[in-house]
Amino acid sequence: MQGLWRRLVTAVIFVIIMAAGHFTGPYTFAALFLIIAAGCLWEFFGLTLDLHTRRDKIRKVFGVVLGLMPVALVTVLKLQNVSDPENFISISAIIFSPLVFTIFIYELYSNSKEPFANIAFMILGLFYIGLPFALVDFIAFDGPEFRHRIVFGLLVLTWVNDTGAYLTGSLIGKTPLFPRISPKKTWEGSTGGLVTTLLFGWLLSFIFDEIPLAQWLGLAVIVGVFGGLGDLVESMLKRSVNVKDSGNLLPGHGGLLDRFDAFIFVVPFATAYLLYFR
């Protein structure tokens, strides 16, 4: 019972923080996702990199900075509404490219037993976490318009899909979905999550009218399909390093990466979908 209350209190505080970050302006929105991205990267490298020496810890910081580069650069581009994006991209490349290749130099002097594994994980963190969070700004900022409610709706759909899948799977789940990675997930649960997400997509179209009903339903399908896959991918990661949770920042819920694994996987597909119509 105490564990249930702890999960509930954590969930309420988490939702309040997320809502405040979305609805108090573009700068708090950008700061919120920069912090979340940093936390997810920190946990990811805690799972994948060896952390025995001081040099290992420096490598972890290096990986977080590298992963945050696309988030920071796109945030500046969108917040400042840069009038010459080509020039901005050129400047970004000048800053970003040397940083990527600096990790090779660092490993040259780090005396690590697996230098190229470390390099691969740092670049993986950039693509797996850094780029999806950078794409969030492409959804939220449409020229001078700040469309934060679409991002919040996408988060709501992701949470609803996870909750709907869990409740349906607990009640009627019998057919394993992917037993090798996640034995408790079932086809019935995934179907229930998709149906619940479609229902909430329909409801959100009445509340957040930035996009029409058809696009909300399209986002619901994307969340129902790719959100579950994102959860499985993170389960595969945790299983490969033999841990239950990515961290312990959120009591009763694990780490930030545990809470945003589905969202991270949804964002690239949702961004492509929304920008196509935009």
Q: State the pLDDT at residue 85.
A: 62
- Cα separation, 139 vs 120, whole angstroms: 29
Residue 25 sits at φ, ψ, to 5 deg, of 125, 165
| Position 237 pLDDT exceeds 90 | yes
Q: Could you tell me the residue range of the domain that residue 35 belongs to?
A: 2-277
- Cα separation, 226 vs 234, whole angstroms: 12
Q: What is the mean pLDDT of residues 264-274?
A: 96
**C-alpha 9, offset from chain centre:** 22
Q: What is the mean pLDDT of residues 166-194?
A: 90
Q: Is 145 helix (H, G, I), strand (E, B) or coil?
A: strand
Q: State the pLDDT at residue 253.
A: 74
Cβ burial 47-83 (10 Å sphere, 16+ → b, else e): bbbeeeeebeeebbebbbebbbbbbbbbbebbeeeee
| Position 218 pLDDT exceeds 90 | yes
User: pLDDT (tens digit, 9 = 90+) per residue, 76-122?
Assistant: 888 877 656 666 677 777 777 888 889 999 999 888 888 999 999 99
Lowest mean pLDDT among 48-57, 115-124, 157-166: 48-57
Element holding 142 (H helix, E strand): strand 141-142
Mean pLDDT of the chain: 89
Name the more confident of 252 and 78. Answer: 78
| Position 207 pLDDT exceeds 90 | yes
Q: What is the mean pLDDT of residues 17-36?
A: 94
- Cα separation, 78 vs 135, whole angstroms: 11
Q: Which residue has the tokens 């993986």?
A: 124
Length of the chain as a residue count: 278
Burial class of residue 10 in the structure, from the number of CB atoms within 10 Å of its CB (0-12 exposed, 13-18 middle, 19+ buried):
middle
Residue 182, number of CB atoms within 10 A of its CB: 18
Under the banding of pLDDT at 50, 70 and 90, the label for residue 3 is low
> What is the number of structural domains in the chain?
1
Q: Are strands 145-146 and 176-178 parallel, antiparallel or unpaired?
A: unpaired
pTM, whole model, 2 decimals? Answer: 0.92
| Position 160 pLDDT exceeds 90 | yes
Q: What is the mean pLDDT of residues 230-237?
A: 94
Q: State the pLDDT at residue 155.
A: 96
| Position 1 pLDDT exceeds 80 | no
Q: State the pLDDT at residue 134.
A: 93
